[in-house]
Amino acid sequence: MSPLSVRESAAFIANNAKEVRVSEAGVCKAADWIGRAMKESNYSRKEWGKHQLNPSAPSEETIAWIFVVDALNFSFWTERPESDPSRYGVRWEGVLWTGYWSLCACINRALASGTPITDPAWFARASDNELALVFRSDTADAIPLLEERIKVLRECGQILLKEFQGSFIECIRQAGHSATALVRLIVSNFPCFRDAHLYQGREVAFYKRAQILVADIWACCDAQGLGQFDDIDSLTMFADYRVPQALIAIGALEYGDGLWQDLSERVPILPGSERECEIRGGSIHAVECIRQELQEKGIHTNAVLLDFFLWDYAKRESESLKSIPIHHTRSIWY
Ligand SMILES: Nc1nc2c(c(CN[C@H]3C=C[C@H](O)[C@@H]3O)cn2[C@@H]2O[C@H](COP(=O)(O)O)[C@@H](O)[C@H]2O)c(=O)[nH]1
């Protein structure tokens, strides 16, 4: 039986969750605040290209860059506290980047040194040492899950060469400007994007990296050309470990006391566990509720922009949000 859609999965989890709750009152307040903040800052998909590490101009190379980054866009949290100078970091353009941005810095550093890290013909066949060099650290700690990243890259490269004439652009073309079709093509052809799990006996799908891959292409190409997706609104929030923190901060999502306590003590949350599914599914559902609330106020947006907005907010306010715990699940899915 194929899994529920991501939206149905999130609703099923939210309606059956034991330790996570979407707060109606919190959703209303959050929608108010986000609606105003997005309007004041004229928030749009153009924000995507403004970050110095993201490519700013759409091109075939940019699509290849986005594919590699989103194939590896997972698990940057470390056992050390976020402020610890030993945690994995990459120095690039005068900044020591950590977290997700450390990955972008690795890719840009490799390209600048002449390593064709975004070319499937290269990364499908590169040696472990050549790939490990791409992710080398400028601090004491190595990148988390290095072996898994090498395996993911090699597998994705081989599939692109075998099934899509060596370019993800062929995959986009086969999707015919449909975001849903492209997500389906990605998860059916690339095992490392198949982010689906069992929750209370039902197969639920989050497809976090498959969805953000489509969303990043849409945003970077400003919904034109290869980035034109007529059903972009069908995507949901991308269930990572950062946006749940923002949703808790704005009161749209609530954790039970036991879960909050364990997260605060950095008790690991096991991959595929009920707790992990409830945090991820609850977060997706909370963003759906915020989107509907805004819709009822006549404010049209979509889950992609809400997600980007909340992720950027969480990163910008990381100091003031540090008392709100994130969940520590070691996983290649997000
Ligand atoms: N839901 C959601 N998750 C996202 C992103 C991004 C990158 N987004 C940038 C690019 C364009 C946007 O405008 C943003 O500027 C990374 N992640 C996830 O976060 C986690 C890393 O966190 P930390 O260790 O604190 O850096 C990890 O699971 C990673 O997969 C997003 O946008 N949405």
pLDDT band of residue 2 (cuts 50, 70, 90) is confident
- Please report the atom of ligand 1 found closest to the CA of residue 101: 26
Ligand 1 mutation target, pool 212, 307, 330, most atoms within 8 A of CB: 212
- Please report the atom of ligand 1 found closest to the CA of residue 74: 30
- Asked whether 252 and 282 are in contact (CB, 8 A), the reply is no
- Residue 319 half-sphere exposure, CB side, CA atoms within 13 Å? 1
Residues 188-202: tens digit of each pLDDT:
999 999 999 999 999
How large is the average pLDDT for residues 223-246?
A: 98
Q: What is the pLDDT, as a whole number, of residue 268?
A: 94
Residue ID of nearest Cα to ligand 1 atom 3:
240
Residues 94-121: tens digit of each pLDDT:
999 999 999 999 999 999 999 999 999 9
- Asked whether 157 and 124 are in contact (CB, 8 A), the reply is yes
Spatial separation of the C-alpha atoms in residues 41 and 51, rounded to whole Å:
15
Helix (H, G, I), strand (E, B) or coil at 255: strand
User: 290 Cβ partners below 8 Å, 6+ apart?
Assistant: 27, 30, 31, 34, 252, 306
Q: What is the pLDDT, as a whole number, of residue 71?
A: 98
Spatial separation of the C-alpha atoms in residues 169 and 61, rounded to whole Å:
10
- Please report the atom of ligand 1 found closest to the CA of residue 51: 15
Q: What is the pLDDT, as a whole number, of residue 1?
A: 59
CA–CA distances in Å: residue 334 to residues 104, 238, 250? 15, 9, 22
Q: What is the pLDDT, as a whole number, of residue 3?
A: 76
User: 104 Cβ partners below 8 Å, 6+ apart?
Assistant: 53, 54, 69, 97
CA of 98 to the centre of ligand 1 (A): 12
The alpha carbon of 132 is separated from its chain's Cα centroid by a whole number of angstroms, namely 22
Residues 122-144: tens digit of each pLDDT:
999 999 999 999 999 999 999 99
Residue ID of nearest Cα to ligand 1 atom 7:
100
Token pair in block for residue 191: 């095992």
Spatial separation of the C-alpha atoms in residues 16 and 11, rounded to whole Å:
9
Residues 202-214: tens digit of each pLDDT:
999 999 999 999 9
- The verdict on the CB of residue 47 being under 6 Å from ligand 1 is yes
- Asked whether 44 and 313 are in contact (CB, 8 A), the reply is no
| Domain definitions of the chain by residue range | 6-316
Q: Where are the alpha helices (DSSP H) in the chain?
A: 6-16, 24-40, 60-71, 99-112, 120-123, 128-134, 146-163, 168-174, 179-189, 208-220, 243-249, 257-264, 274-296, 303-316
Residues 287-330: tens digit of each pLDDT:
999 999 999 999 999 999 999 999 999 999 999 999 999 999 99
Percent of the chain surpassing pLDDT 70:
100
pLDDT of residue 11 exceeding 70? yes
Q: What is the pLDDT, as a whole number, of residue 99?
A: 97
The dihedral over CA atoms of 239, 293, 248, 278, expressed in degrees to the nearest 10, equals -50
CA of 1 to the centre of ligand 1 (A): 31
CA of 192 to the centre of ligand 1 (A): 18
pLDDT band of residue 51 (cuts 50, 70, 90) is very high
227: exposed, middle or buried (Cβ count in 10 Å: 0-12, 13-18, 19+):
buried
Helix (H, G, I), strand (E, B) or coil at 222: coil
pLDDT of residue 278 exceeding 80? yes
Token pair in block for residue 114: 């002449």
CA of 212 to the centre of ligand 1 (A): 9
pLDDT band of residue 85 (cuts 50, 70, 90) is very high
Spatial separation of the C-alpha atoms in residues 53 and 60, rounded to whole Å:
17
Token pair in block for residue 130: 């050549």
Token pair in block for residue 316: 């910008």
CA of 172 to the centre of ligand 1 (A): 22
- The verdict on the CB of residue 73 being under 6 Å from ligand 1 is yes
- Asked whether 93 and 107 are in contact (CB, 8 A), the reply is no
Active-site residue list: 240
- The verdict on the CB of residue 97 being under 6 Å from ligand 1 is no
User: Among all chains, which residue has been given the structure tokens 């499908």?
Assistant: 124
201: exposed, middle or buried (Cβ count in 10 Å: 0-12, 13-18, 19+):
exposed
ipTM of the complex: 0.98
The whole-chain average pLDDT of the chain stands at 97
The model's pTM: 0.98
